[in-house]
Structure 1
Amino acid sequence: MNNITIHKLKTICLAAFLMASAGASAQHTVVKTNALYWSTTTPNLAIETKIGQKWTAEFSAGYNPFTFSDNKKLRHIAVQPEARYWLCSPYAGHFFGMHLVYAHYNIGGIKLPLGLFKDLHHYRYQGDLGAIGFGYGYSWMLPGNHWSIEAEIGVGVGFTTYDKYECATCGSKVGSDTKTLVMPTKAAISLIYNLK
């Protein structure tokens, strides 16, 4: 992905955030955090607001600045705007979503579950990722009016451009590449607080 495409994706993500923020004060709005994302040591937060009878818009962001022993790292900053269509009414039951993803990353020395990206254990990658994905989820209301739990899974197509280094700690640059891949774009179990 060239710099012009990355710039366009950043602009789209910023525009989606501004639109969600503009409607947040006047509409039914929730804030949430993804427990699965926290399990990767990534602090994260999302805001979602109702934009129609069965539509909501969400904007989420995560930031991982940490480097661990043996220079293992999953450092990145990521943003993900999403439009959701709810089968019943917003924030309850089944929904389908379409989302964009932008991430800047510096990752190496780690093993991901399910055998994903096996080279990450032996190499370090630094670059940018953009993706478009489709998701399905379900939201459960908890007793009371303010809390709920939501699960969502998404898949899509990603475009990444990166530099590859020999090892996570000290290796010299091996090369650069651009790839298109089918990938998971979302995995979330979120705790939600209703601001209404």
Structure 2
Amino acid sequence: MNLMNRFVPKNEKVQLLHTDPDLNKKMSNRIISWISGNHRELVVVCIGTDRSTGDALGPFTGSFLEEKQPRNFHTYGTLQDPVHATNLKNYIKLINLQHNNPFIIAVDASLGKTESVGNIIGDTGSLRPGAALNKDLPEIGDIHITGVVNISGFMEYAVLQSTRLSLVVEMAKSIAGLLCEVDKQLTSKRMFTAPIKEENYRLKLNK
């Protein structure tokens, strides 16, 4: 057990720059502490659309993660089959039908202060996709990971559209790498013994 786990409450959020060399170690330890001890199916839902640069963080993360073929996660939301505002409610129904009481890790882009851009934030509880754009969407996630892709406070839709793709891709790679580290630790600890099915359940709705 490292010092962070000893002295920081495990339910406290963790926030690190996506280029921080200790990102995988520190944040994976925290995520493991949040899901440790439960044997529910693990589902990663990466939210966003490839039609907006800033909002493509989720689909890029899902695609990068799916390429790694994690053993302990079912992945929803990729560039090919995104989970976004139009089909989110249907995906939530599908996930609950396909998985018995799943433990959901939600991944989404967010806007924040200038000094927070490029940061990855992990926290407990659900998130509200589209909140920055005043969209009324259902909450999702037992825990969530967000990436601050740009600044908030003015013309959020335009800000998302003008976000640099290079930053989004690099952050998505970091989040996917983080989740792969979590998957590796789960596998080594044999926390989950039920094999992940080969099938990928997707809805191809309103891409």
TM, length-normalised to structure 1: 0.27
Q: Which has the larger radius of gyration?
A: 1
Q: Whose relative contact order is higher, 1 or 2, with alpha carbons under 8 Å and at least 6 apart?
A: 2
- Considering fraction of residues, name the structure with more helix: 2
Greater percentage in strand: 1
